[in-house]
Structure formats: C-alpha cells, structure tokens
Structure 1
Amino acid sequence: MSPMGDEPIKTVLARISATVGQWGRETTLEQMRQGFADLVSGGRRPPLRPADADGIPAAWFGEGDGVVLYCHGGGYQMGSIASHGPLMADIAEAADMRVLGFDYRLAPEHRHPAALDDAIRVYRWLLDGGIRPERLAIGGDSAGAGLALATVLRARAENLPLPSAIVLLSPWVDMEARGHSYKTRAALDPLTQRDKVLMMVRACLGRDGDPAHPWASPVNGDLSDLPPILIHVGDHETVLGDTELLAARARAAGTEVETVVWPGMIHHFQVFPELAESRASLAQIGAYLRDRIG
C-alpha cells in the first residue's frame, strides 16, 4: 500500500533533508538541538501550563480527568517540551485528557540513567499528587518510547502502582540495534541509520555502559504483567524491528499488545500534522486512551 497522499510526505522528506543535511562535523550539539526542535515542532507553540514536577521542568497540555505522562524523543540527546509540545497538545486533544511533558536531562552532559531517574521522579510526583493509576497512561516517541517503557519497568521494581496503558510511537527500545530493518529500511528512513543510532548509544551510555541492560533496552526486560501496550510505527522505519521484537516478547510474556504499522510512513510521523496518516494515527491513539482510561 502507498501513503494516503504522496505530495505531503515528499514535502516532509524535503524538510527533514533541509535540516539534517546541513549537519556536519562543525555543527555543534546546540545547533542540532535547535534544528531538531524547529523541525519537530514545525514552529507551532500550543498553549501550556508550566509545572514544577519535584524540581523537574514540566508542562501540562489539554484538559480532562485522565492523564498521559509523555516522554519526548530525540535520541536522549535532543528534544524538549518546546520541540514536542505540539505533539503532546495533539494527543491531549485527540484523547480529551491532560498530557504532562517534562524536560529530562540530556546526554552527553547527563548520561544514563539520568533521563530514567528524572522520568521515575516525575511519575512518583504524579502519584503523590493524587493521580490514580487507573486514570494514568504513559507514552513516548522514539527514545522517549524506550524511556516510557523503562519507566514502567523501574516503577514495578520500586513497587509503585503501574499505569493503565502504555502508548509507544516509533519505539526505540533496543540499544543493541539488532533489528533486520536497519538493513531492509535503510534506504527509506531519513533519520535513524544504524551508525547514527550506535553513536547515540555511546553518547547516552558512555564507554562503560551496558546497552543490553533492561533499563537501557527495555525490550530485554521482564515484559510480563505489564499494562496493555499500543504501538504505532511506520513501515519505512529502520527501528521497525524494535517494534516486532517488543511485540513478540511482550505477547510471549502474556502482555496485551496492539501494533499498527503505517504503510509508507517514516520515524515518528505523527509530529508532521500535514500528513493524513499523522492525523489518523493520533485519532486512533486518542480513541485507545479514552477506551483505557477515559
């Protein structure tokens, strides 16, 4: 199957190329972070309500009784409330509930498990603030999806109540980069080539970090007795194999998993609202969240 419309995806690919294609050895990390933020946000600045989540900068989007704790993507080196605020606002609108985003510490300045430490701190802050687990979901895109799943594993290890649903967009959950799709989708994915992924792993973990550890690669964790998982991923993503491995292992462990693979779509395509597939994906995610915690 082909995408719903060829011209919008061509426009998106051109935007990505115009941003990423300018990055070279002389490009600073801050310049990359700003370029990434501009690309992902599309210049949108939705209304938000700033929050202090036990010392971690956070922001609320949308209204409603249900809450989604959202972990932004960016390879653990980029991304922020500003970059992913529009996506969080879109999810809040689609689900008719509140979404909480937060600025976890980024690598390489703050290596693993700094981001996970921050995420579990925000998760505890929500629970301590009276958010009931049955009214709480957790989600994320790309590295943020891996962070969201690792947060659930750590919450269970710390005997915290678990959320009622997990929603993952284009999940990167395997820092060992074992997926066959790194080869089969290499010519189709403009963002996540395997050599770049391994560079991000080194920046995040450092030389002595263990990419196989379940809190770095949550696909390696104990996936039994987890909340239901919804995964949306594009067929043109090199990390498609992460989804396949995660879904297989979670189902084998008895966890409910629903996977939707979008033909012709690229990594975290939901950040590009001009795509009909993006809008359709968000509508499905919203319906899923309403059904689980709405």
Structure 2
Amino acid sequence: MTIETIPARKGLRLRSFLGRRMARKAGRSSLSPATSAEHARARMDKAGRQLPMPKDVEVARTEIGGLDALAFAPESARNGMLVYLHGGGYSRGSALSHRALVARMAAAFSLNAISVNYRMAPEHPCPAAIEDAVAALEAVMANETGPVILAGDSAGGGLALAAAIRLRDAGRRVPDALYLLSPWTDLSMSGESVKTRALRDPMLNPDYLGAGGALYLGGRPGTDPEASPLFADLHGLPPTLIQVGSDEILLSDSTRLAEKLEAAGVPVECEVWEGMWHDFQIFSPLIPEADWAIDRARVWVELQLA
C-alpha cells in the first residue's frame, strides 16, 4: 500500500502538548497574514538561530547557482548531496530558519547538504522560486557524481516537486530521490483536509494558506500546474518519500499526491503520522516523533543510495 499510517506512541502526551503550543505560536507569529513578510522573515530567522544544532555538522555560508545558501558538512559524509528547499508559504523562511532541521538530516543521512535561499513572493511570484531551485539543482548536479536527494517542507516540498518536473520536461538530469515533508502541492485548496482538519492543525489554517497562495500565484489560477504540481504530469519522476501529519490541513495534498505518483508509475511511500501536525519534524529534538520520522527517512535514503 502506498499510504502507511504511523501509529502515535504512548506516554508522550506532555511533549506533544508542548509541541502543539509551540506550533500554534509559530504559526501566528510567522505565517499569519496579519504579520508582514518582513517581520515574519526576521522572526523565523531569529528562531533558526536559537534552535539546538547537532554537534557533528559544520555549517558555512556559500553560493550555488548564483544563489545564497548554507552548506552542511557532517562527519564521515559519503558520496552524494542533499539539496534542501525551505518552507514558509513561498513568502517566508530561509536557509537560516531551517538550519537545525537540515543539519539533522545531513547528519542522519551522512550526506553533505545545501539549503538554498530562493526568491520569494510578493516581490517575486511564481515561477521565480522554481527557476532558482532549478538553477541550484543544475549547479549541484553538474559537479556531483554521486546521488542527489532533493528535499523540502511545506511550500519547499511543493517547490521541490515543481523543480523536478521542470528538469524532467527539459530533458535534464533529475534528482535521484525526493523527500517531501508536508508538501503544499495544491494552491487551489481543494483538498478535503483544508476543511476537516482546520481546527486540528495548530500551525496552519485556511486563511494563512489563502493569503500566502495569492502572493505566490500573482494572478495565476490555483490549479496552475507550475504553482500546484499536484495537477501536473507526474510520469518519470524519481522515487519519492512523503511524510505528513494526520492532523494537518495539508494532509490531502500528500495523500492525493501519493496516489497520483503511484498511478504514474513512480515508486512512492507516504507516511501519515497519527496525531502530528504540519511540519512536525522542525520540532526535533523536543518531539520524539520528529526524530523517528527523520530516522525512517534515513532508512529510506539508504535504500535509494544502494
């Protein structure tokens, strides 16, 4: 079965409660349309500086494909590269805000990593972010002989999918695997979970999605396949791992994507984490489920690298 439910673990209610409170605060301060993009970006970067980092990963500023980025070098890195595209509704977030998450992935996967600062809305609507993601990927793959894993969360997950589609359509090398965390793949908000999970997701709500989507679309319809890759042709894409929480309003974006990928002949696994919310992996190490999710991704990545 393409879609697998990961049962909630017992005895962790206090940590889950605290995590939900943090997620609700993060959503209100950084994703709400009541907060300007400028202030939200500054808040997310400040939070990124405060999150605990793994000790065995060196981080440095770099440039890739003409874009500012962060480079992550774990101890005993193997041949290959992880390329990461941050979330934030296409108008917020940065490589810095997601620094701790990418560092944990680099350490878990034993891969050097690049986290890219792509152009964002409202200054740069679609397809600017896709163009930047493709430029970064092509620069990495021009110099990397080993496998390239492309990952992203939320808007970054949708962006990763859109970038892979553009490379495929251009007849260029595509990443060897996709790892998508709570990907935002449908800016038309037609998924049933946008309504059924609206009161259960502590981080996102339909108003946040609607406002952020309008900025990125820049007048395009929400079903435009570039902005909403759920509606694109998905044939010929690389093996894909999707992780999503059962309580998030983007649940349908993930489950429908998994079904469409499978129908297109793409090897895909979709994990629905019971009781978890949008982008719960960001809350590692506070939430044990976040660490378990990254570890399950490590096992999947091992299979792809093999």
Give the shorter-chain TM-score range.
over 0.9
Which residue does 1:155 correspond to in 2? 167
Selected match of 1:236 from 237, 247, 255? 247
How far did 1:293 drift? 1.8
Structure 2 match to 1:280? 292
2:98 counterpart SS class: helix
In structure 2, the partner of 1:99 is 113
Residues 41, 244 of structure 1: alpha-carbon distance in 2 compared, 3 angstrom cutoff: farther
Pairwise CA distance, 1:38: 4.0
Shift of 1:30: 1.8
In structure 1, which of residues 122, 142, 166 is the aligned counterpart of residue 136 of structure 2? 122
Q: Structure 1 residues 18, 197: closer, same or farther in 2, change over 3 A?
A: closer
The whole-number CA distance in structure 2 between the counterparts of 1:188 and 1:39 is: 24
Aligned counterpart for 2:41 among listed residues 13, 33, 45: 33
The runs of 5 or more residues in structure 2 that have no matched partner are 1-6
Q: Deviations over 1:217-273 (max 9, x none)?
A: 111111112111101111111000001110111111111110111111011100101
> How far apart in 2 are the matches of 1:290 and 1:20?
33
For residue 258 of structure 1, give the secondary structure of its aligned residue in structure 2.
strand
Q: Give 1:25 shift.
A: 7.4
| 1:166 pairs with 2:178 | yes
Could you say what secondary structure the match of 1:48 adopts?
strand
How has the CA–CA distance of structure 1 residues 156 and 283 changed in structure 2, closer, same or farther, with 3 Å as cutoff? same
Distance between the aligned counterparts of 1:96 and 1:25, measured in 2?
38
Who is 1:210 aligned against?
Answer: 221
Q: Which residue is 1:12 aligned to? A: 19
Alignment partners' CA distance in 2, 1:26 and 1:239: 21
Q: Report the alpha carbon displacement of residue 66 of structure 1 after superposing the two structures with TM.
A: 1.8
Q: 1:192 to 1:22 in 2, by over 3 A?
A: closer
- 1:104 is matched by which residue type in structure 2? Y
Q: Distance in 2 between matches of 1:176 and 1:215?
A: 12
Q: State TM-score, norm by structure 2.
A: 0.89
Unaligned runs of 5+ in 1: none
Is residue 157–residue 184 contact of structure 2 (8 Å, CA) maintained in 1?
Answer: yes
Task: Give 2:274's match in structure 1, choosing from 263, 272, 286.
Answer: 263
Would the alpha carbon gap of residues 22 and 258 (structure 1) be closer, same or farther in structure 2, given more than 3 Å must change?
closer
- Greater mean deviation of Cα atoms: 187-196 or 239-248: 187-196
The alpha-carbon distance between structure 1 residues 250 and 32, as it changes in their structure 2 partners (threshold 3 A), is same
Match of 1:55 among 55, 60, 66: 66
Q: Report SS of the residue matched to 1:93.
A: helix
Give the aligned CA root-mean-square deviation in angstroms. 1.9
Q: Which string of whole-angstrom CA distances, capped at 9 and with x for unpartnered residues, describes residues 12-61 of structure 1?
A: 22223344445777743222222233446653356313221132011221
**TM-score normalised by structure 1 residue count:** 0.93
Please tell me whether residue 87 in structure 1 is matched to residue 101 in structure 2.
Answer: yes
The 2-side partners of 1:213 and 1:27 are apart by 27
| Partner Cα distance (2:40, 2:187) in 1 | 21
Instruction: Verify the 8 A CA contact 2:8 2:273 in the aligned structure 1.
Output: no
Taking the aligned partners of 1:21 and 1:192, their CA distance within structure 2 comes to 9
Structure 1 CA distance for aligned equivalents of residues 61 and 49 of structure 2: 18
Partner residue, 1:219:
230
Query: CA shift at 1:2, angstroms?
Result: 4.0
Q: 1:142 aligns with which of 151, 154, 159?
A: 154
1:184 correspondence with 2:200:
no
Amino acid at match of 2:82: V
**Residues 20 and 255 of structure 1: is their aligned pair in 2 closer, same or farther, counting only changes over 3 Å?**
closer
AA matched with 1:10: F
